[in-house]
A and B are shown apart, each in its own frame.
Chain A
């Protein structure tokens, strides 16, 4: 225990130099701004920094990149809250209650709680990183293809059951998402699936394109359908970026609960923020005494996933620091940048370069404080955007959406895709088919399929493999419970009062 504090002090000594604090500030600001723009996520932000890091010492370089990563996590939900356009996959869930809060005139509150929740999640992630890196890294190794498949199945089931309206429609949406995820070249067999001779489809559908279409552009359509309806925005309270102590207290426990959840999911390579946020939302909705308030601007529905999301980026550092393998797209870029500086993270990084490993961990503490300081004032001008009339705002969102789409792959074909998704999203919302299961299935579909195949290959085609492994079985039981529970709830709601 004492050794840990010694190390942490060493880390703080590295992190708290004027130069490093300056870089954390610059990185955090850059990350926040990049995170806000649709289509640009933390991986892009870190990639932009690579040429700058060439001339830094490795600790400063890694600290700066972490600041960008965290900044993007803070910023990612801004656009979700303000214009229903997630900046990144892990910000999808922030739309569910964040955007309704904005529509209810509580944008300032939403932005404030999202900054606080991000901070709390980030700190929880850091504390876990300090004390639990080693055991958690070992535990994560127990997750093979079978365990991962069951976890994915649970996340998908939970998402279907948490969505509004009928569960059947939720499963229809999930089915659509799975179908879309099969488009493209299949890595295992090499066969080209459902491309209809279009080369542009060979890599599959980029889920960010789908997201921009289904959320941002479809939202514009929806608003044009109701231009005459005014937001219930009170111009007196609009600029207040502040959350009352009473509301904060209500969110506190959910935020703290979501931290560890996010951290553990983040440790699993390739899983990441998307699952963490969806699961934390599902958990809080399940635990809430008023689940019917979720999706209509319930502040807990925003606070919990925001916390999970940031704790998750702490978790994603575990495989990078202990195994030298990237747990997410962003840490992959960090790894590349570090290698060019001659540092190869791995099992012996903590022994060989304690100043780097602990410096980074300590910088997360510093970074989170700085990001909170950056983000609260930054929300003030953002909220002012709501004063812009809809007829001016909507074309701007449309432009931003298409621009973001082009930035993803520099492919003009994506314009067509984004338009199709927008029309489809509009249609689905008219049929009250929930969008989240579709998006999640599209994001996780490929992984679900491949983990299933891999588990089958390893077990020689024996399905029992999912039931004999304890971790896998646990997730399957959880999935079954969430399904049965929500069917029971739906039946109770739909049956007339006796």
Chain B
């Protein structure tokens, strides 16, 4: 009797093993250990928040069955974290947050690494850029503002951070060019701590304008302390219905400050497909949509294939722009 039972057990276990490994051996791939999302900056910044929102959405919606950890690897404007990711060649359990900096660092000669050294997975969200002035400033539109700069560039110092050559800066340069202002005459004041220094500097009247992500200014706008001259979105934004887009003001500029996800280089097609599917499902979930709303982020989803094309195009257009304004030597 016992023998028989043991035999049944063997049969059962053997069947289980064969079928379990069978599914694993088939073309589907699944993470086999904890998933690591790298935020290539310290806690509290945009990349960190993206990594943590993805972690929360994937976990709460049970889209992955392995635990997810977020690690902060600050340094080199993202380069430290991305180089770490590059070293995980072929491992599907590593993701990292990115932004246009992965292009700009390379274009400006700060880093060798480009988007070709990693596997783009998706673009997820965008914030929109704006130019803000004090609520009692004389300029109401982009045109008035840039006319004033053209007349006397020294009278309007413009705050930008954390470095020159980032999205905030590029937005300003593009618009300046469109209004026939020589970008080289603009007085840029660089604030390494970004909004934390830019907002008090403009409220205190130490500078004339800031070029910045719209969300950073939102509370001040609601409180009636700052005025936005325009926004880089394709259409007016629901949170600031009175602010015209740059497009409405006759400037051919739609400029998302996007963030997305990349994975290690050398992934198999199955690994890429896994993440493409999972992230594609994630952006449809309520948890993800709620989080975007809370953070005032706009959805800006591109799947892996689209995102790769988008990166290649952005690289080219930013190359042209940075060269034409003299930032790329």
Chain A residues packing against B (C-beta within 8 Å): 43-44, 46-47, 50-51, 54, 140-145, 185, 187-190, 192, 199, 202-203, 269-270, 319, 323-327, 329, 332-333, 335-336, 339-342, 344-348, 409-411, 446-447, 450, 453-454, 457-458, 460
Contacts and interface: CB of A to CB of B under 8 A. Distances in A.
Contact of B201 (A47, A145, A329): A145
Smallest CB-CB A-B distances: 9 pairs:
A346-B219, A144-B206, A141-B204, A347-B223, A47-B43, A342-B294, A332-B44, A333-B44, A187-B163
B108 A326 contact: no
B87 to A, nearest CB: 13
Interface stretch (B15-23, B45-53, B301-309): B45-53
Interface string B205-229: 1110000000000111011010000
B272 interface: no
Interface in B249-295: 291, 293-295
A454 B190 contact: yes
7 contacts: A43-B44, A187-B163, A202-B75, A324-B220, A336-B44, A339-B49, A447-B192
Given A144-B201, A450-B190, A348 B76 contact: no
A348 B53 contact: no
Interface in B70-123: 72-77, 79-80, 108-110
A270 B193 contact: yes
B163 A188 contact: yes
Contact of A203 (B76, B165, B203, B207): B76
B44 A340 contact: no
Nearest to B225: A347
B42 A43 contact: yes
Given A339-B49, A347-B220, 5 more contacts: A143-B200, A190-B108, A325-B199, A336-B49, A344-B219
B191 interface: yes
B164 A188 contact: yes
A142 B75 contact: no
B196 interface: yes
Contact of B294 (A44, A144, A339): A339
B187 interface: yes
A472 to B, nearest CB: 12
Given A47-B72, A340-B53, A342-B294, A327 B196 contact: yes
Nearest to B162: A187
B74 A332 contact: no
B49 A187 contact: no
Given A187-B163, A188-B190, A340-B294, A323 B200 contact: yes
Interface in B290-326: 291, 293-296
B154 interface: yes
A172 to B, nearest CB: 27
A348 B206 contact: no
Contact of A340 (B72, B192, B200, B291): B291
Nearest to B295: A339
Given A185-B110, A340-B291, A340-B294, A453 B190 contact: yes
A342 B292 CA distance: 10
Contacts of B42: 43, 329
Contacts of A50: 43, 52
B128 to A, nearest CB: 16
B197 interface: yes
Nearest to B158: A457
B191 A454 contact: yes
A460 B196 contact: no
B133 interface: no
A324 to B, nearest CB: 5
Given A187-B162, A187-B163, A325 B196 contact: yes
A458 B189 contact: yes
Given A325-B195, A339-B294, A460-B154, A203 B204 contact: no
A319 B294 contact: no
Most buried by A among B203, B291, B293: B203
Contacts of A192: 110
B146 interface: no
A287 B140 CA distance: 53
B183 interface: no
A329 B42 CA distance: 9
Nearest to A333: B44
A327 to B, nearest CB: 7
A286 B56 CA distance: 53
A306 to B, nearest CB: 26
